[in-house]
Amino acid sequence: MMKISLRTKLIVSFMAVIVICGLVATLVGLRLIGTGIVGQAQDKVKNDLNSAREIYRGETQDLKDVVRFTALRFFMKDAILESDIERLQGELASIRKAESLDVLTLTDREGRVVVRARNRSVVGDDESGDELVSEILSGKGVVGGTVIVPREELLKEGTNLAEQAYIKFVATPRAKPSRKSEETCGMMIKAAAAVRGYDGSLIGVLYGGKLLNRNYELVDKVKETVYQGVKYKGKDIGTATIFQGDLRVSTNVKREDGSRAIGTRVSKEVYEQVLEKGLPWIDRAFVVNNWYISAYEPIKNIKGQIIGVLYVGVLEEKFTDMRAGAVAVFLAITCGGMLAALVVSSFLAQGVLRPIKRLVYASHQWGKGNLNHRVKSTSKDEIGELAETFNLMASSLKERDDKLREYTSQQIMKSERLATLGQLAAGVAHEVNNPLGAVLMYTHLVLEDLEDKDSRRNNLEKAVAEASRCRDIVKGLLDFARQTEPKVEQRDLNETLERTLGLVEKQALFQNVKITKDFCSSLPEIFIDVGQMQQVFTNIVLNAAEAMEGKGELTVATRMAGDNEHIEIELSDTGCGIPAENQEKIFDPFFTTKEVGRGTGLGLAVSHGIIAKHRGTIEVKSEPGEGTTFIIRLPVNGKEK
Ligand X SMILES: Nc1ncnc2c1ncn2[C@@H]1O[C@H](COP(=O)(O)OP(=O)(O)O)[C@@H](O)[C@H]1O
Question: Residue 575, interface with ligand X (CB under 6 A)?
Answer: yes
Question: Residue 149, interface with ligand X (CB under 6 A)?
Answer: no
Q: How far apart are CA 139 and CA 134, in angstroms?
A: 9
Question: Residue 215, interface with Mg ion (CB under 5 A)?
Answer: no
Question: Residue 594, interface with ligand X (CB under 6 A)?
Answer: yes
- Let me know: does 402 contact 461? Beta carbons within 8 Å: no
CA neighbor of 70 nearest in space, from 117, 111, 110, 112: 117
576 binds, options Mg ion, ligand X, none, Cβ within 5 to 8 A by partner type: ligand X
Q: How far apart are CA 247 and CA 171, in angstroms?
A: 11
Is the Cβ of residue 363 or residue 592 nearer to Mg ion in the bound state?
A: 592
Question: Residue 628, interface with ligand X (CB under 6 A)?
Answer: yes
Question: Residue 589, interface with Mg ion (CB under 5 A)?
Answer: no
Supply the minimum distance, in Å, between the C-beta of residue 577 and ligand X: 6
CA neighbor of 240 nearest in space, from 102, 63, 45: 45
Is the Cβ of residue 250 or residue 543 nearer to Mg ion in the bound state?
A: 543
Question: Residue 604, interface with ligand X (CB under 6 A)?
Answer: yes
552 binds, options Mg ion, ligand X, none, Cβ within 5 to 8 A by partner type: none
247 binds, options ligand X, Mg ion, none, Cβ within 5 to 8 A by partner type: none
Say how many Å lie between the first and final Cα of the chain, rounded. 53
Is the Cβ of residue 149 or residue 554 nearer to ligand X in the bound state?
A: 554
Residue in 79, 253, 528, 547 binding ligand X, rule: CB under 6 A = 547
Q: Which residue minimizes CB distance to Mg ion?
A: 603
Is the Cβ of residue 39 or residue 625 nearer to ligand X in the bound state?
A: 625
Phi and psi, residue 578, nearest 5°: -125, 125
Residue in 536, 544, 556, 569 binding ligand X, rule: CB under 6 A = 544
Residue in 526, 576, 610, 611 binding ligand X, rule: CB under 6 A = 576
Residue in 543, 558, 574, 607 binding Mg ion, rule: CB under 5 A = 543
Burial 178-201 (b: 16+ CB within 10 A, else e): eeeeebebbbbbbbbbbbbeeeee
Question: Residue 213, interface with ligand X (CB under 6 A)?
Answer: no
Phi and psi, residue 610, nearest 5°: -65, -45
Q: How far apart are CA 96 and CA 144, in angstroms?
A: 17
- Residues with Cβ within 8 Å of residue 279, at least 6 apart in sequence: 273
CA dihedral 445, 446, 448, 449 (to 10 degrees): 120
Is the Cβ of residue 127 or residue 573 nearer to ligand X in the bound state?
A: 573
Supply the minimum distance, in Å, between the C-beta of residue 569 and ligand X: 14
Residue in 603, 609, 616, 638 binding ligand X, rule: CB under 6 A = 603
- Let me know: does 239 contact 230? Beta carbons within 8 Å: no
Question: Residue 629, interface with Mg ion (CB under 5 A)?
Answer: no
Question: Residue 601, interface with ligand X (CB under 6 A)?
Answer: yes
Question: Residue 628, interface with Mg ion (CB under 5 A)?
Answer: no
- Residues with Cβ within 8 Å of residue 233, at least 6 apart in sequence: 317
In DSSP terms, 490 is beta-bridged to 527
Question: Residue 603, interface with Mg ion (CB under 5 A)?
Answer: yes
Q: How far apart are CA 259 and CA 261, in angstroms?
A: 6
Which residues of this chain interact with ligand X, rule CB under 6 A?
539, 543-544, 547, 573, 575-578, 586, 591-594, 599-605, 628
Which residues of this chain interact with Mg ion, rule CB under 5 A?
543, 603
